[in-house]
Amino acid sequence: MTWPPLREELRGIEPYGAPQLDVPVALNVNENPYPPSAAVVADIAAAVTDAAATLNRYPDREFTELRKGLAEYLNADGGRGIGPDQVWAANGSNEVMLHLLQAFGGPGRTAVSFAPTYSMYPEYARDAMTAWVAGRRHEDFAFDLEHAHEVIDEHRPSVVLLPSPNNPTGTALPHDVIGTLCTMLSGHGGEDGLVVIDEAYAEFRREGTPSALELLGDHRNLVVTRTMSKAFALAGARLGYLAAAPEICDALRVVRLPYHLSAVTQATASAALRHADELLANVAELRAERDRTVAWLRERGFEVADSDANFCLFGRFDDRHAVWEGLLHRGVLIRETGPDGWLRVSIGTAEEMAAFRAALLEVAS
Ligand SMILES: *Cc1c(COP(=O)(O)O)cnc(C)c1O
C-alpha cells in the first residue's frame, strides 16, 4: 500500500526549486538586483489600496486594463500593432507556460525542446500529461536546425518550447531559425504545432539581437512569452504574459482557473507598467556589467557562453559542485545548472560582482 495515493509518475520526485539561502550575495535566480524606487513603491501601494477597497468582489476575469498596458509595452519593445486581444497573462510566465501545455499539449501529444534548455519545461509537460522530448543543441549552444528538423519530423510535437535568450546558456535565436521552425510546425499532420519563444530575458539582449515579437505578424503559430520577473524587477509580484494570435489567447481562457489574476496582482502590475521606464532604467547598467563579467572571466581563462541575458554560463570545472560550494562558503550563491562542468552566475550590482570575482579567484586558485 502506498501512501499518499500519488499519481504513479510523481512518486519519489522532489519538488523543483533553486535553494533559497540567506546569503550576502545572491546571484542564483536571475533577479534584477535593484529594488523599486520609493516613488514606484508609493504608486504601487496606492493602487493596491484602491484594489483593497473592492476585495469583497471577484476581480476582472479578463484583466482588461492590464492587457492594454502590456500590449502598449510590447509595441514599444519590438511588437507591431499588438492588440489587447493578442495578450494573455498569468501568475508568472511559468503559469502562462502551464496554460499553453494544458490547452495545446495533453495526452497523446508531445512537447519538444532542445537541451540545454529551461529545466521547468519537462515538469509542466508532465503536469499537463504531455509527452516530453528533448533534442540537443550544437556543442557551442547554437541552434542545430538540421537536428531539430529530424526531431520534429519524428515526434510531430504540438508545442515546441524555446527560451531566447536561452536559459541557462544566454544564447539568443536568430530570426531565420524561428521563422523556419514556425513553417516546419505549420500544417503538421493537418494541424499547426505552436512555436513558443520564451523571451523572459528579452530586455537584456545585445544591440542588434531581434525580438521574436517582430515575427508575430508572419506566423499564426508563433507565441512569444515575457515576464515582469527579470528586467522589470518585479519577481515578487508574479506576473508573466504572452503575445500570440487572438485565437490562441481565447483558447487559454478555457484552461485558466476562475479569476486567476487577483485584483491585487492586476493593480500591482498595471501600476508597475506606468513606471516601466524607471523599472527598466537599470537594464543598461546590467547589460554593461554582464559584458564586463564575460570579458573578465575570459581574460582569466574560463570558457564563457555568449550571453544576451542577465547571467552567464561559465566553466569548465572538473568538480563544479566544489566550486559552487567554495563560493557559497564565501557568501556568494550562484547556480549549479546547465551541462556538467558549467556554472551560471546572475548579474548583480557592481559590488556584488566584485564579491563574486574575488571569491572565484580564491576558489579557483
Ligand atoms: C525566470 C524565467 C522565467 C520567468 O518565470 P516567472 O514565472 O515569470 O517568474 C521564464 N522562463 C525562463 C526561461 C526563465 O529563466
Cα 199 to middle of ligand 1, angstroms: 9
pLDDT at 1: 66
pLDDT at 253: 97
The C-alpha cell at 33 is 538586483
Residue 125, classified by CB atoms within 10 Å of its CB into exposed (0-12), middle (13-18) or buried (19+), is buried
Whether CATH 3.40.640.10 fits 39-274: yes
For the chain, the maximum distance between any two Cα atoms, rounded to a whole number of angstroms, is 60
Cα 226 to middle of ligand 1, angstroms: 8
pLDDT at 18: 83
Domain covering 8-36+277-364, topology: Aspartate Aminotransferase, domain 1 (3.90.1150)
From first to last of its 365 residues, what are the pLDDT tens digits of the chain?
A: 689 999 998 999 998 888 889 999 999 999 999 999 999 999 999 999 999 999 999 999 999 999 999 999 999 999 999 999 999 999 999 999 999 999 999 999 999 999 999 999 999 999 999 999 999 999 999 999 999 999 999 999 999 999 999 999 999 999 999 999 999 999 877 789 999 999 999 999 999 999 999 999 999 999 999 999 999 999 999 999 999 999 999 999 999 999 999 999 999 999 999 999 999 999 999 999 999 999 999 999 999 999 999 999 999 999 999 999 999 999 999 999 999 999 999 999 999 999 999 999 999 98
Sign of CA dihedral 319, 324, 327, 328: negative
pLDDT at 184: 96
Pocket, ligand 1, Cβ cutoff 6 A: 30, 92-94, 118, 163, 167, 198, 200, 227, 229-230, 235, 240
Boundaries of every domain in the chain? 8-36+277-364, 39-274
Whose C-alpha lies nearest to ligand 1, atom 11?
200
Which among 95, 99, 229 is the best mutation to test ligand 1's pocket, defined by most ligand atoms within 8 Å of the CB?
229
**44/293 Cα distance (integer angstroms):** 33
Terminal CA-CA length for the chain: 53
- Atom nearest to 228 CA in ligand 1: 8
Query: Under 8 Å CB-to-CB from 71, ≥6 apart: which residues?
Result: 79, 82, 83, 84, 86, 87, 243
Number of C-beta neighbours around residue 57 at 10 A: 8
pLDDT at 190: 79
SS3 112: strand
Which among 93, 117, 123, 241 is the best mutation to test ligand 1's pocket, defined by most ligand atoms within 8 Å of the CB?
93
**120/117 Cα distance (integer angstroms):** 9
